[in-house]
Every structure is written in C-alpha cells, then in structure tokens.
C-alpha cells in the first residue's frame, strides 16, 4: 500500500542545532518561538506492507506502562507500610 506523506523541510537557525535540516508537519516560518527557515514543502511516497499491523507494538508499549505502574505502586505501597510500621512501634505516653 502506497501512502504519500507531506511535510515542510526547514533550516534550523537555533544556536544549539544551527544548520540542521528539520522535517516538520507544518510550516513554522514566522513562528516567534521557532527560529527555522522554510526550504521547501516536500512529499514522500512510502510503501507500507499490506500486512502491517500496529497492534503488537501498541501492546508492547502498554505492557511497559503497566510494568512501570506496578513498580510505582509497589514502591508507594512499601513506603506506606514502612510508615505504618513506624507508627505502630511508637510508644505513646498518656
């Protein structure tokens, strides 16, 4: 399956990447926070395999997020349990 992608090729005038070519989804010429000069609009034809399926990569990314969430939960849960244990170990003078 062939797809045509359109974009805008810019020359970067930013000090940290001066002279680099940057491909953008729109023309940023004249934007106050973008110091780029439009070279030209381009169109690239891409051949995408007919059997392309994005779902395995999406599932992999979600599984990675799930692992991160589980690790963050475990860290927070361990800290809460530590604080509870400390409070239970305190002797309170009445």
The model scores a pTM over 0.85 = no
Which segments within the chain are labelled E, that is strand?
Answer: 2-12, 21-24, 36-47
Q: What is the mean pLDDT of residues 35-49?
A: 92
φ/ψ of 57, rounded to 5, equals -70, -40
Task: Please report the pLDDT score of residue 13 as a whole number.
Answer: 84
The answer to whether the beta carbons of residues 1 and 50 sit under 8 Å apart is yes
Task: Please report the pLDDT score of residue 32 as a whole number.
Answer: 62
Distance of alpha carbon 76 from alpha carbon 73, whole angstroms: 5
Extents of the domains making up the chain: 2-47, 53-94
Looking at per-residue confidence, does 15 or 31 come out higher? 15
Distance of alpha carbon 36 from alpha carbon 29, whole angstroms: 6
Q: Does position 33 have pLDDT exceeding 80, yes or no?
A: no
Q: Does position 70 have pLDDT exceeding 70, yes or no?
A: yes
Q: Does position 92 have pLDDT exceeding 90, yes or no?
A: no
């Amino acid at each position: 399956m062939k797809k045509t992608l359109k974009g805008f090729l810019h020359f970067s005038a930013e000090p940290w990447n001066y002279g680099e070519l940057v491909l953008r989804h729109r023309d940023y010429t004249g934007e106050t926070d973008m110091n780029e000069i439009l070279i030209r609009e381009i169109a690239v034809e891409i051949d995408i395999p007919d059997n392309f399926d994005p779902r395995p990569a999406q599932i992999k990314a979600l599984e990675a997020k799930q692992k991160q969430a589980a690790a963050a939960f475990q860290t927070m849960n361990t800290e809460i349990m530590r604080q509870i244990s400390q409070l239970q170990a305190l002797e309170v003078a009445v």
